[in-house]
Each structure stands twice: as C-alpha cells, then as structure tokens.
Amino acid sequence: MTTISDEPSGKVSLWYDPRVRSMVSQVILIGLIAWGFYALVTNTIHNLERLKIASGFDFLGTNAGFTLIQSLIEYDQTATYGRAFMVGLLNTFYVAIIGIVLATILGFLVGVARLSKNWVISRVATVYVEVLRNIPLLLQIIIWYKILLLLAPGKREFGNILGIGNFNITGLWTPKFIAQDGFWVTGIAIVIAIALAWMVARWASKRQQATGQQFPSFWAGLAIVIGLPLLVFFATGSPGIVEHPEFVSEGSMLRRGFKPGVGFVFIPEFLALLFALVLYTATFIAEIVRAGILAVDHGQTEAAGALGLRRGKILRLVVIPQAMRVIIPPLTSQYLNLTKNSSLAMAIGYPDVMGAGGIVLNQSGQAVEIIIMIMVVYLTFSLVTSVFMNWYNAKMSLVER
C-alpha cells in the first residue's frame, strides 16, 4: 500500500524545503531593510554635503539669541540652542503630564455619568462626548485660544475665577510657593509619610484578611500624608513663603498690569492647549471607561448584591477592578495620543518641543539634526509611557492561580 507520509523523505529539493525557504526569505527581507536603511543614510549624508549644509550636533552649544514665552528652567537669549530645546522639551512634558491627569479624571467621571440612571446627567455626558470627539483637535485648540483672548480682560485690568486666581489676557495668575533654606526636611517628611501610609494600608488589609476586622486605612493614610509634612514644616520654622501676584494700576500705561515674574502664571497659550487636549482626550477616555464597565457581566453585580454589598462597594470592589483589565490597554494609547497631539501647540505659539525645536531649526538651519532629536523625544516619551502602562496592566490583570 502506498502512503503519503508527512515525514520528509530526505530527497526533497532545497527549493521546496519549508525550513530553507523560510530562512532564505527572512535573510532576504533583513537584507532589503538593511540596504534600504543604508541607502537612505548615505544618500542623506551625500546630499547634505552636496548642498553644502553643515551637519553635526556642534550647533547645540551656540548662543540661541531668541527668547521663549514660557520656560520652566532658567532661560534667556544668552542661553544655547541646546538649552532652548530643553525648555521646549520640558514644556511638552508639562502640558502632557497635567493633561493626562486631568483628562483621566474627567474621562472617568463622564464615562460613569453616561451610564447614570439620571436622564439629564447621562444626556449631558452623551452630548459632550459626541460633539467634542467629532471636532478636529487643531480646530478646538484655535477656538479655545481665540475665546480666551476675546473673553479675557485687557492687560491693564483683571477678573477673578472662583478665588483660584486673577486672570487677564496675559494669563491666569496664581500665588506661588517659594521654598527656602531648610525646606528639604519637609521634603523628606513627605516621602516618609507616603511610605508610612502605604505600610498602614498593607497592615490593614492583612489584618482584614486574617480577622475580618476593617480599618479606615484610606482616611488614616490621608491624615498621615497631609499631617506629618505640615507638622514638620511648622516645626522647622515654616521655611517657605507664598508669593502673591502683584497688580500695578498706576504709573505709565506700559507698566500697568501684573508685574512680570511675581507669582505664578499660566499663559493663555498653555491654557488653550490644555483645555483642548483635556476636553478632546477625555471624550475618548469616557468611551473607553463606559465600554470597560459594560464589559463586566451583569451577573457579577447581582452576585455581589446577593452577598449584601452596598452599591458603592459593588462598583469599587467588584466592577471597576474587572473593568480595568479592559480599560488600561486602550487608555495607554489615549495617553500617547495626548502627548503627541500636544505638538499641535505650534498653531498658537506655545513653545513645546516642536515649537522651540522649530525655532532652533529655523535659526540654525540644522533641519535633519533637529527633526531627529524631536523624533527621538516623542519616541522615548511614548515608549516609556507604554512600558509603565504595560507594567500597570500586568499588575491589574486577573491573577490566575
């Protein structure tokens, strides 16, 4: 009887050997990629030389000569191109980090609100999500900027928002805390307080598992984190002052208005960008949260209810932990989106890494170097965010025993 055997007969030509074929095709693919990369790099270098464009990163040490409207570190026109780029980099982190925090809070609230049984609340949330996520972000940034400039009082007058701070067209001015000598003790106290609170929470959960007795670890932790540093701060003689913005309303017209450099200011360019990024990204986060909660089987809620848990506890202990598994991966990409979208800041003159980098590019003419640097920045930031969120996802996922 003749049989068709799966085993290689040993006489198959190399051409038909699947292992050889797969090896060869992979080698060819890698070769092509390497060749393409090599061709691009050598071509670029050759063409730069042909166009007589100086290359290299030496220009970063040259005097920049221009100023930037917002810098978190010391910077003026005598600083270098490299420092100007750093300022832009920090400005990007600044808006991205605050934006991520605010968008997450707002997104969770709206996501839960859309599922609310209260008709008005769920409708308001629905309209908000459907309207804002369907308008291009660039448009929203520009609209917010125009609105801020149009609504804000002129430079020589000001309005007040809910006691948070005074504002006019130059921005939102808030008091600034300035640390003085000896503040480091309070800094250490904060670290110790957080560690203490964490230990209390661990102890409480262990005790609950062992004895069933509950301990208000959240409130205790909060008291430690706030109380201990405050106590240390006053014990070390209050090493810090609060600086309030100063408004000059007399003298020559040009000197009237908020005194520059006194107090803390959120410039309108930053505020417009932040509003737009937060409101836009929060709509997507809201949808992710809603999807995550809906993904938890209703039986879970019913079972928890049958065990006698209250509604708040059902949500906190049963539904949300399971929903998080669904929420975290898409949430990560929203964080990445927000960070990358912050580069649209150019449209309104906020000096983020794209904007400040663009000025350096233009003043120095080193296009290739600057573009590479900007790409590395976004790539690094995105990869770091991904790694962190993947770690968090692994921690939150179902632990199978």
Partner 1 sequence: MKKTLLALGLGTAMSVAAAAAATAGTLADVKAKGHVQCGVSQGLPGFSNADAKGNWAGLDVDICRGMAAAIFGDATKVKYTPLSSKERFTALQSGEIDVLSRNTTWTATRDTALGLNFAGVNYYDGQGFMVRKSLGVTSALQLGGAAVCTNTGTTTELNVADYFRANNMKFEVVAFEKSDEVVGAYDKGRCDVYTTDASGLYAQRLKLTNAKDHIVLPEIISKEPLGPVVRQGDDQWFNLVRWTLNAMINAEEMGITSANVESMLTSKNPAVLRLVGKEGSFGENLGVGNDWAYNIIKQVGNYGESFERNVGPKTPLGIARGVNALWSKGGIMYAPPIR
Q: How far is the CB of 360 from partner 1 (least distance, A)?
A: 9
Q: Which of 174, 333, 343, 363 binds partner 1 (CB under 8 A)?
A: 363
Closest CA to 293 of 262, 315, 267: 315
Identify the burial level of 60 via C-beta atoms within 10 angstroms of its C-beta, where 0-12 means exposed, 13-18 middle and 19 or more buried: buried
Sign of the four-CA dihedral 309, 310, 315, 317:
negative
Of 20 and 372, which has the nearer Cβ to partner 1? 372
CA-to-CA dists, residue 341 to 215, 336, 379, angstroms: 44, 8, 13
Question: At its nearest, how many Å lie between partner 1 and the CB of residue 281?
Answer: 24
Q: Does residue number 118 form part of the binding site for partner 1 (CB under 8 A)?
A: no
DSSP 9-44: -S---GGG-HHHHHHHHHHHHHHHHHHHHHHHHHHH
What mask of x and - would describe binding to partner 1 in positions 285 to 304, judged by CB under 8 A?
A: --------------------
Q: What six digits make up the tokens of 387?
A: 């790694």
Whether residue 169 contacts residue 256, with contact meaning beta carbons closer than 8 Å, is answered with no
Is residue 95 within 8 Å of residue 273, measured between CB atoms? yes
Which of 98, 368, 389, 396 is the binder for partner 1 (CB under 8 A)? Answer: 368
Residue whose pair of structure tokens reads 């006691």 in the numeric block: 163
Other Cβ atoms less than 10 A from the Cβ of 15: the count is 8
The distance of closest approach from Cβ of residue 144 to partner 1 in the complex, given in angstroms and rounded to an integer, is 14
Q: Is 154 in the site for partner 1 (CB under 8 A)?
A: yes
Residue 401 C-beta-side C-alpha neighbours within 13 Å: 0
Q: CB under 8 A: which stretch of 60-68, 206-214, 238-246, 325-333 binds partner 1?
A: 60-68
Residues in contact with partner 1, shown as a per-residue x/- string from 74 to 93 under the rule CB under 8 A: ---xx---------------
Binding-site member from 93, 264, 349, 393 for partner 1 (CB under 8 A)? 349
State the binding string over 309-348 for partner 1 (x if CB under 8 A, else -): -------------------------------------xxx
The DSSP result for 105-159, as a single string, is HHHHHHHHHHT-S-HHHHHHHHHHHHHHTTS-HHHHHHHHHHHHHHHS--TT--E
The reply on whether position 225 binds partner 1 by CB under 8 A is no
Q: Does 37 bind partner 1 (CB under 8 A)?
A: yes
The residues that touch partner 1, with contacts defined as CB under 8 A, are 33, 36-37, 40-41, 43-44, 47-48, 50-54, 65-69, 77-78, 149-150, 154-155, 169-170, 252-255, 260, 268-269, 346-349, 351, 355, 358-359, 361-365, 367-368, 371-372, 375, 379
